[in-house]
Amino acid sequence: MTMVRAGVVPGRRMAGYVAAGILVVAVVCAGTVGVFGLNRVFTGLFFGAAAAVGLMVALFGRDRVELTEDAIVRRTPWGASAVAWDRVVAGRFALDEKGRWTLALDLNGGDEPHRELVLLSIPPVRRPIASAYDMRKREQVDEIRTMLRHRRIPVTILPEIANALQRHWKIAPPTR
């Protein structure tokens, strides 16, 4: 296993990406109308929307966390930073403030005395796999769990989450 892809885009950065997309639509539309006249406003909106979608795919595609054999790499569109595995204290699979299930790592050292790195945030599992999204999230949970087990990092998991993962997604509870 060489790399596992994970990561959650924080709300502020997501809002920035959406704002950049809206700005691209406005600039392309204004440019098209400025060059070709008011009759091309819908053409400008179309090409602006296409450019915005391309920009947002690029931004969201670059914003991720990669778990590699050597380190945990946090990537953003403008840079990357690595976190050594020895900074990871433990992992936890719990409920967040929005009622979603969050798989996060607790880190020590570094710039702050204690820090959290969210790897995955999914809606609660209430049924067997029904879509490609469910399948991808199941694969991510399993890949992350395997990587953390390989690195011998203890992971705590709420019993209701463990039961639902075992019942619906056929992921066995952690063994310790």
Report which of 74, 30, 20, 25 is spatially closest to residue 48, judged by C-alpha positions: 25
Model's pTM, two decimal places?
0.79
143: exposed, middle or buried (C-beta count within 10 Å: 0-12, 13-18, 19+)? middle
Long-range contacts of 55-64 (CB under 8 A, 24+ apart): 55/20, 55/21, 55/24, 56/17, 56/18, 56/20, 56/21, 59/17, 59/20, 60/9, 60/17, 63/7, 63/9, 63/13, 63/17, 64/5, 64/6, 64/7
> What average pLDDT does the segment 20-35 reach?
96
What is the per-residue pLDDT for 105? 92
Q: Mind listing the pLDDT tens digit for each residue in 57-80?
A: 999 999 999 999 989 999 989 999
Percent of the chain whose pLDDT exceeds 70: 94
Task: Inform me whether the pLDDT recorded for 113 exceeds 80.
Answer: no
Architecture of domain 64-169: Roll (2.30)
Percent of the chain whose pLDDT exceeds 90: 56
Yes or no: say if 122 and 6 are a contact pair by the CB < 8 Å rule.
no
Sorted by sequence, the CB contacts under 8 Å of residue 129 that are 6+ apart come out as: 135, 138, 168, 169
Yes or no: say if 60 and 77 are a contact pair by the CB < 8 Å rule.
no
Helix, strand, coil percentages (3-state) for the chain, rounded to 5, are 50, 30, 25
**Using 50, 70 and 90 to split pLDDT, how confident is the model at 138?**
very high
User: Which residues are registered as beta bridge partners of 73?
Assistant: 66, 82
Task: Inform me whether the pLDDT recorded for 21 exceeds 60.
Answer: yes
Task: Inform me whether the pLDDT recorded for 123 exceeds 80.
Answer: yes
Domain ranges of the chain: 9-62, 64-169
Distance CA 85, CA 69 (A): 9
